[in-house]
Amino acid sequence: MADETMEEGGNPTGVVKKFMYVNRRAPYGTVYPLEGLEVVLIGAAFEQDVSMAFVDDGVYQLKKGQDTAETGMKNFSPAYRALEMYDVEKLYAEKESLEARGLTQDDLLVSVEVLSTAELTELMEQQDVILNY
């Protein structure tokens, strides 16, 4: 039966861990934001409790209307809309990061829960694993 679970892409151990992926970098200029998104999708496929937090310049990853023509990089921002299909529904943005960059929830591609720095810190303390990108 364990082999069947593995073939289906499920969680072979049955142990669910809380993984939070913290996105701190602007969406383009490094490979970290795209790699972070790919790792999130892989983690979700293995039925882990996955959440994402966007802080500092990472909030720009969710900004609507990204134009990457001059960067020479592919615009991967539409992939954030696929997160819901992978049951990644716990998306958080740091209030202070949004405000410092003049962004509101209306500027973002997907729905997020906006948390203060203190609230986000508290949420991070509840995680089993935190990965920074």
Which region holds residue 56: left if phi is over 0, alpha if psi is between -120 and 50, else beta? left
pLDDT tens sequence across 112-121: 999 999 999 9
Domain assignments of the chain as residue spans, ordered by start: 17-64+72-132
- DSSP codes of every residue in 45-104: HTT-EEEEEE-GGGGGGGBTT---TTTTS---GGGGGGGGGGT--EEEEEHHHHHHTT--
One-letter amino acid for residue 125 of the chain: E
- The three-state secondary structure class of 18 is strand
Superfamily of domain 17-64+72-132: DsrEFH-like (3.40.1260.10)
For residue 36, pLDDT beyond 70 = yes
**Residue-wise pLDDT tens digits, 62-94:** 999 988 888 888 888 888 988 988 889 999 999
Query: What's the mean per-residue pLDDT of the chain?
Result: 88
